[in-house]
Structure 1
Amino acid sequence: MSLAGTGTLTRLALRRDRLMIPVWALVVGGMVASGAGSLEGLYGTAAERAELAASMTANSSMRALYGPVFGDSLGGLVAWRFGTFGAVLAAVASLIVVVRHTREEEETGRQEMLSAGAVGRRAPLTAALLAALGLNAAVALIVTAGLAGQGAAGALALGLAIGGTGMVFATAAALAAQFTESARLAKGLTAAVLGLAFVLRAAGDAGTSDGSSVLTWLSPVGWAEHVRAFADERWWVLVLIAAAVLLQASAAYALAARRDVGAGFLATRPGPAEGRLATAGALAWRLQRGTLLGWSLGFLIGGLVFGGMVEGAADIVGDNERAREIFERMGGQSALTDAFLATMVSLFGMIAALYAVGSVLRPHGEETSGRAEPLLAGALGRLRWAAGHLVIAFGGSALILALAGLGLALSYGHDLGPILGAALVQLPAVWALAGLAVLLWGALPRAAAAAWGAAGLCLALGWVGPALGLPRAVLDLSPFGHLPKLPGPAVDWPPVLVLTALAAALTAAGLAGLRRRDVTG
């Protein structure tokens, strides 16, 4: 039977992700569900909410970032403020889960071993999709339960829209996994599609105030917006989402049935007969250059997009002092425009930490796949092998942040120096998280994936923590909470130097652990 062993593989996947799936579900669902409380504190009257809805709908920059406001009720504002980003986060979590239990299992050779037993051909893909379905169902349940007080129908529509978007990209990841021979490339392709979907939605919403643009309808992220939770729900849009899920899943199953385990329809080109990579650093560059190029382009484009929104920053808060306090809490106590810029560069910094952690953990993937052992069996030392990847991780994070600052400055029309400095001051926090990843990989390789959790927690704290009014002590759990909020005030050097020293210490400890342990972990 083609589905033989599905139950066992599903239980195995859920066991392996017993921490990751609940954390993602709580972060995504909790962020959306808790939005009602924070917005109610800011806009307590119907008149204030109506004024906010009118000003946001009239502002093309804010429509590009959040989408149009379809309803001025408290639930409608939650759907506007948190719906799009909740859908994006659900999509990110879903693609990670699916690739982890499909292409990554094949790349490491574990799937071939399992397939030698009583496991059907469709069982691994089905187990991965069921794990993603469990994640998105949990997100939808948390959102629905948390917002039920604002209207049961709207809460259910928003929960299904966010969870459905997650499943659209779960099946997109399943499809990408059939074409590539690399888990990293499968994630990259799906993430690129997600980025394109967000850009299409942003461009469409910037051009029209009612979400009617063709570009918005071409984006699965835009479909979640068009469900219009808490604003005369369009339930039929959920049918469009379900159709996309079924179509992509069917295509993934059809392709999986026609290829060998471990193979992909986009076969890797064989290298030259004689090796051209003379050093470990050159090999690391060859392995990571595509990823760095993708991140560089994404950060440059992101800087250009967000720089164009700076002039509309004041419209976000108007005369609302509570909203102004939140913005300044995220971006500092300087002028509102500087606070907006500081918020943007901080967001870029937290996302750059994801690149740094992934780049640091790339040699860990080489280890688990068995490709590192032949290299280290010769004269190549462990530290020299690791150094090539770490140079790209630490240097690459500086490059992408510099490009984000360049994009912000060019689009906003501001002097490059202050904005570039504001972007680069994020590096000590980025490097601290990268150093933690080095420590976990070097000393505790089985716990290396926890570095992703640390980076995700910092992103969640920096993104929604100020809006939720979390205590300063909680926000300070993130290294980004200790950085000066630039541009604007003078640089507070002690936290910058302490974080830099911490990053160096963590990296040194991780490399010391790598020298002592077995290569296979």
Structure 2
Amino acid sequence: MRETLAGTGMLIRLGLRRDRWLLPVWVLGFAVVTYSTAAAGAELYPDQRSRVAAANALNATASIVAMFGRIYDPASLGALSLIKYTAFMTAILAVLMVVLIIRHTRADEESGRLELLSGGRLGRDAPLAAALSIGLATSLGVGLLSGAGLAAGGLAGAGSLAFGLGWTATGMAFCAVGGVAAQLTASARAATGLGVGIVAVTYGLRAVGDLSEPGPSLLSWLSPIGWNQQIRAFAGDHWWVLALPVALCILLIPTAFTLRARRDLGAGLRDERPGPAVGSLTGVWALAVRLQFRVWLAWAVSFVVFGVVVGSLVANVAEMLSSPNAQDLIKLLGGASALRDAFLAAEISIMGLLAAAYGVAAANHLRGEEAAGHTEALLGTATTRSRWASSHYAFALAGVAALMALTGVSIGVGAALAVQDTGLIGRAALASLAQIPAAWVLTSVALAVFGWVPRLAGSVWGVLLAFVALGEFGVLWNAPGWLMELSPFRHSPLLPVSLDAVPALLALIAVAAALAALGYLGWRRRDLAA
């Protein structure tokens, strides 16, 4: 056993060095969000009457229950304030853990890094052990700091600890899921798709189970995300539920090591299907579409489903936000006078941030192809540097635009069906399209970083997270105006959109073009990087 784990400590140090910026941003990001939410909750719902009214309205809205779950103690400030975090943010944490484990296992195998390291004294199980150690430690850090943030924000200490440990246990469980997924397929992309698909299935089981009356049903108890909800932090604190994700983790980790012992390095237990005998790609543009279209399609389906659900909530906005402070805040965030428009504007702006995340991921595909050695092979043909980079960059821009177009139509349709106002389709679509230039700015930032310092491609996610924090909590933090103005999303018009917004949109497009030109300049001047 000792021989199979030889070199684990070295790989842990290497992994922590590689992620020395990424992991702290993740951990601190979750802690800051929970602290801000806890601190703002008392202002939004200052008395028990407002809390009970808001909680009852949320529990009575099927789409809200499906997305975020139930509030099991309507009088609890913590249970109401953290409604979005027990399920939705838990799913995000689960995805991050899956991606982290696969990044340090299957992705390193695919790139040849582990084969190179195996030339020294490296045990067969060391990469998986190191990845799981990093993932489990990250989950512990997220949970403990988030719990401390809740307590610092004014919520009860016992509930804060229960909530934080729930995130820790769930993160650990999905680290184990990622470890198993990494053994089943022969590529990092397939393993990531499998792991994220498991997260989606568990989220869906929880959603269906929570819709049962009085809820939850058996389906919720089949979902690790549902387990996190049933801890019921700030609503009874069911500590014993923490044993379920811990038990799943204990079961899956030995399974992952057993599966690892049954396959060769670089292979998977599930063979990939061979491609067609005769290729049909006509150039780098078709190749970029082939590589990225399936991922975009998954994003598109999610945007449409989410858009219809969000749009259908407009009929319940007045009930959900019965507190005057809550209404004032949503109007401030949305920037419109009408509460319904403000709600739709705020949701559309969130979708704009998500579209920017897709743009960054799609543009960072340039770095992934370069690191894998595929770019060097392509540039050995008649393909020019600019043409190859443009294929992925253009797909990223087009993908962002298409996602926001789908968002506008789906939100508009959902809202129109809810309040019988077909005019909302056009207004929501126009507001969604107005978010495109800001997302293009982030996409172009990714291209600029790739052009000059490709090893810092991951830092663009930190920039996006900073903009998200400013947009969501800048008002609550009393951030200075100049800092708020740095975010391109600050300059995106919201409902209602008028001709006065055209200069700001043109300015954002000009900034995106300038950043893209800067990126192309750096890409043409620098050498290929491994």
TM above 0.5: yes
Is 1:341 the counterpart of 2:344 in the alignment? yes
Structure 1 residue identity aligned to 2:255:
A
CA distance in 1, matches of 2:211, 2:268: 39
CA distance in 2, matches of 1:264, 1:67: 36
2:158: which partner in 1? 153
Distance 1:169 1:340, change over 3 A: same
Structure 1 residue identity aligned to 2:159:
G
CA distance in 1, matches of 2:71, 2:276: 56
Residue 357 of structure 1: how far off its partner (Å): 1.0
1:62: which partner in 2? 64
Contact 2:441 2:488 in 1 (8 A): yes
Unaligned runs of 5+ in 1: none
Contact 2:336 2:496 in 1 (8 A): no
1:257: which partner in 2? 261
Q: Secondary structure at the match of 2:12?
A: helix
Is 1:191 the counterpart of 2:193 in the alignment? no
1:519: which partner in 2? 528
Contact 1:408 1:419 in 2 (8 A): yes
Contact 2:94 2:170 in 1 (8 A): yes
Contact 1:86 1:162 in 2 (8 A): no
Contact 1:178 1:255 in 2 (8 A): yes
Residue 469 of structure 1: how far off its partner (Å): 5.7
2:104: which partner in 1? 101
1:476 to 473, 485, 503: 485
Structure 2 residue identity aligned to 1:520:
A
Distance 1:137 1:382, change over 3 A: same
Residue 488 of structure 1: how far off its partner (Å): 5.7
2:126: which partner in 1? 123
Deviations 1:57-114 (A, max 9, x none): 3333333333222232333333434333432332233223212111211111101111
Give matches, 1:408-447, under 5 Å.
408-413=411-416, 414-415=422-423, 416-447=425-456
1:248: which partner in 2? 252
CA distance in 2, matches of 1:142, 1:126: 24
Residue 466 of structure 1: how far off its partner (Å): 4.7
Deviations 1:450-476 (A, max 9, x none): 112222333343345456665554443
| 69-78 vs 402-411, greater mean Cα deviation | 69-78
CA distance in 1, matches of 2:476, 2:187: 38
Q: How many residues align?
A: 519
CA distance in 2, matches of 1:339, 1:79: 21
1:229 to 206, 224, 233: 233
Deviations 1:394-425 (A, max 9, x none): 11111122122222122222443211111111
Give matches, 1:229-308, under 5 Å.
229-308=233-312
Distance 1:490 1:225, change over 3 A: farther
2:395: which partner in 1? 392
CA distance in 2, matches of 1:467, 1:339: 17
Is 1:75 the counterpart of 2:78 in the alignment? yes
For normalisation by structure 1, the TM-score amounts to 0.94
CA distance in 1, matches of 2:5, 2:412: 54
Residue 507 of structure 1: how far off its partner (Å): 0.9
Unaligned runs of 5+ in 2: 417-421
Residue 426 of structure 1: how far off its partner (Å): 0.9
CA distance in 2, matches of 1:512, 1:424: 29
Distance 1:269 1:491, change over 3 A: farther
1:219 to 219, 223, 231: 223
Contact 2:437 2:508 in 1 (8 A): yes
CA distance in 1, matches of 2:92, 2:254: 24
Distance 1:488 1:199, change over 3 A: farther
CA distance in 2, matches of 1:62, 1:296: 21
Residue 393 of structure 1: how far off its partner (Å): 0.7
1:364: which partner in 2? 367
| 294-303 vs 260-269, greater mean Cα deviation | 260-269
CA distance in 2, matches of 1:180, 1:98: 14
Contact 1:361 1:437 in 2 (8 A): yes
1:177: which partner in 2? 182
Deviations 1:109-132 (A, max 9, x none): 101111222111111111111111
Contact 2:36 2:473 in 1 (8 A): no
Distance 1:301 1:132, change over 3 A: same
CA distance in 1, matches of 2:110, 2:22: 21
CA distance in 1, matches of 2:457, 2:288: 19
1:42: which partner in 2? 44
Distance 1:142 1:282, change over 3 A: same
CA distance in 1, matches of 2:12, 2:48: 47
Contact 1:331 1:339 in 2 (8 A): yes
1:14: which partner in 2? 16
| Aligned-residue RMSD, C-alpha | 2.1
Distance 1:92 1:519, change over 3 A: same
Distance 1:69 1:271, change over 3 A: closer
CA distance in 1, matches of 2:149, 2:38: 9
Structure 2 residue identity aligned to 1:494:
P
Contact 1:88 1:166 in 2 (8 A): no
Contact 1:422 1:486 in 2 (8 A): yes
Contact 1:425 1:496 in 2 (8 A): yes
Structure 1 residue identity aligned to 2:23:
I
